[in-house]
Structure 1
Amino acid sequence: MTLLENHMPFFIVQQLFEMAFGMHRQDMPELLELVCKFFKGVLSMEKLPESAKKSEVKNFVHVIRLSFLPSVRKALDPNLKEMKFPSSATELVAVGVKLRRSDSNCLLDIEFKNGVLEIPVLALYDRTKSLIRNVIAFEQCYPLDDSYLIDYMAFMEYLVDTPVDAKLLIDEGIIDNWLSNKESAVQLIKSFGMEAILPENYYFNNLSHKLINHCQRPYNKWKATFKREYCSSPWVVIPVIATVVLLLLTVAQTMCSVLSLKTLLFKW
């Protein structure tokens, strides 16, 4: 049912629905609502947003795609003409970016604020490959103004570059991995990115620029290096604290000696 090639146009299904139930339709939910209930296990959201309900539905794959639409569509910054992509999760964490699971049930609601990258849960099952591939094919075949899922998978492809990256996201609850291992998760995510052609209005371009700018600030690099080198374990922290205390005591002793010398000279 989720294969693009198996679907007849939605308006034909709508007409068959009206012919089948006729006068009894007033006591029944709308066809789109019934379709959403049928695909409840694969939809990104439990119900379609109001803006999606007003769309001209093409077929069942289109219904699934509508469930992925962002709750609030963000405008692209016209000044950011160069397309950018995020560093891997490992590289982001290395410069102090915190990864956190978002409470949003919309995959596209990715936020970066105050050094924290919040990402909604991505569940990976055996059926995920077929589902996402067909939605990507739909976005490439139809003349749409946006390609949200293509953009999302491209963003995730850069974020999850190795099994180590996958482990970071799995540990944070961002990836709910039901595949055989972390390597399978990486291969699945990267396979979508290789198949898709990105448009010029890449949805996560603003976010990618923010991440890159954060990582390139010298202060953030220094702070992350300090935490990694000197605060990684108690056995490293204790000598650092002892050194700082000793340095402060030395400075205090020096100041006391200088003050004592000044007092002595003043008496003379």
Structure 2
Amino acid sequence: MSDSLHSQTAGSGCYSDHAINVGTTEGSIATGIGFCIFRVPQCLFESNQSAFQPNMVPIGPYHHGKPQFQKIQEHKRRFSIDLINRANQGRDKLRHFAEALKPMEEKIRNCYSEALAFDSDELIGMMVLDGCFIIELFCKSYGKLAGHTDPGYDPLLTQPWVLPFLMRDLAKLENQIPWFVLKALFDLTVGSWNESHPSLSKLALSCFNRTFHRPDADAVLTKYSDWEGEHLLNFLRLTINPDSPETKQRPNKHLHLIQPATKLHLAGIKFKRTHCESFMDIKFSNGVLEIPGLRFDDILSSLFLNFIAFEQCHRGSSKHVTAYATFMACLLNTPADVGFLCDRMIIEKYFGTYQQIAHFFSNIGKDVVFDIRRNYLSQVFQDVNAYSEKDWRVRWAGFKNTYFSTRWSLISAVAAFILLVLMTIKSFFAVYAYYRPPS
């Protein structure tokens, strides 16, 4: 990863038959065709295939019809019927849903970065079935709606591990359907008969918050209950982005990637855990690097990878998650760096070893385009380097870490200083007595 801008070269094979070329995506946006659902670039896909492919439930066209997902199709149909029954509508409503989505077909196709090999009826039927499944899953998970079925009695949700796996699949880039499809189906069903009903955004956040840890989940629900995204993955990404905007910095000798956490500590920088709405809200002031706590688990690692893949493919997207991941990759270069931040409760380890966490962050930035001059953390990169590169601070910090890092080293240093003072006094009186002997 270079200091200013690193990108994938044309001959590296990053974009193979599995991926859509980013250049094509940019051109399509310029002409008004807003691709927002992509195949993951091959260079990212190969590093961690399980993070990008659905494990339990396929959503949308990219993984539709694969034989390993035949069983879940039965649950999708059952969830769709439950949704219709919840809204007290006849079963033929599925046909009316398809008729409502039919005028959106071209708009739906234009959301995907590759041509879809499905005819009109197949595509619209897929959207209806998958959309109804997602909405009913949110309703069952929310558990406070009139006519709801307790998820503990649902054949699919009886085991606690199922919901986290389902939610992780719903937050994968290749496993998306457009948000406007979900919104249309939501308005035709549960949103049409009860004005006090929670919004689609609130239902989605409530469900994801059960598997994705947030410092202040209630504040997130309040703030984002009326927000929308291009799809579920992007909606989630927007809810973790900090309020800091992307800024473009002028070339500066201090604007480059920072040192690992242990080296910054030796250079005199202090690390402090803070509590913010977004765990990406990093600040630096007066030698103190303030970083919100990060609960690292397998769900968060999957989200990170898919957020970054989306940001890399979508021209109009901010690159906040990419910038955050790059910053953390700089800090967490070795297992010792991970342990250092864990000791300060900045990293909460719920998955993997120190070595695995360091390996995850060191790999997350490979084959990823990152412009250090244009991101929301560019000023932090610059200020941290400017502070840590001053020679007197480095020497003083090294002295403190050598002689005052622990209680025993402090006691030893104080004892040595007292001994030095006593020896100096003794030498002074010996010399004084030599030149001025007592009478």
TM range (shorter): 0.7 to 0.9
Q: TM-score, normalised by structure 2?
A: 0.53
Structure 1 unpaired stretches of 5+: 262-268
* TM-aligned CA distance change 1:201 to 1:75, over 3 Å: closer
The amino acid of 1:26's aligned partner reads E
Correspondence list, 1:46-65, <5 A? 46=217, 47=220, 50=223, 57-65=229-237
Q: How many residues align?
A: 254
2:379 to 206, 210, 213: 206
Change (3 A) 1:147 1:25: farther
Q: Cα 1:11–1:244, aligned 2, differ >3 Å: closer, same or farther?
A: farther
Give 1:15 shift. Answer: 0.1
> What stretches of structure 1 move > 6 A for 4+ residues in a row?
250-253
| Structure-2 change in CA distance of 1:22 and 1:205 (3 Å) | closer
**How far apart are 1:145 and its partner, in Å?**
5.0
1:73 is aligned, of 230, 244, 262, to 244
Alpha-carbon separation, structure 2, partners of 1:249 and 1:144: 73
Query: Does 2:200 correspond to 1:24?
Result: no
| 2:393 corresponds to 1:220 | yes
Partner-residue secondary structure (3-state), 1:187: helix
Separation of aligned partners in 2, 1:175 and 1:17: 38
Cα distance in 2 for residues equivalent to 1:68 and 1:9: 20
What displacement does 1:252 show? 9.2
Shift in Å at residue 125 of structure 1?
1.1
Instruction: Name the residue aligned to 2:414.
Output: 238
Identity across aligned pairs (percent)?
26
Higher mean displacement: 11-20 or 72-81: 72-81
Q: Which moved more, 1:116-125 or 1:195-204?
A: 195-204
Classify 1:252/1:57 alpha carbon distance in 2 versus 1 (closer, same or farther; 3 Å): farther
The one-letter code sitting in structure 1 at the alignment partner of 2:377 is: F
User: CA–CA distance in 2 between the matches of 1:19 and 1:136?
Assistant: 33
Q: Equivalent of 1:42, from 212, 231, 241?
A: 212
14-23 vs 244-253, greater mean Cα deviation: 244-253
- After TM superposition, list the pairs within 5 Å mapping 1:178-189 onto structure 2: 178-189=350-361
Is the CA contact 2:311–2:319 (under 8 Å) kept in the aligned structure 1? Answer: yes
Residue 241 (structure 1) shift: 2.4
Q: CA deviation at 1:163?
A: 0.4
Q: What letter corresponds to residue 42 of structure 1 in structure 2? A: F
**Residue type of the partner of 2:237?**
R
Aligned-partner SS, 1:117: strand
SS of equivalent residue, structure 2 residue 366 = helix
The change in CA–CA distance for 1:77 and 1:4 in structure 2 (over 3 A counts) is closer
Measured against aligned partners, the alpha-carbon deviations of 1:153-194 in whole angstroms (never above 9, x if no partner) come to: 000111100000010011111111122311011111122111
Q: Are the equivalent residues in 2 in contact too, given 1:49–1:67 (CA < 8 A)?
A: no
Residue among 94, 114, 118 paired with 2:266: 94
Q: Distance in 2 between matches of 1:56 and 1:23?
A: 18
Question: Residues 184-236 of structure 1, C-alpha deviation per residue, up to 9 Å, x if partnerless?
Answer: 11111122111421135132121111111111112211211221233241453
Structure 2, gaps ≥5 residues long? 1-169
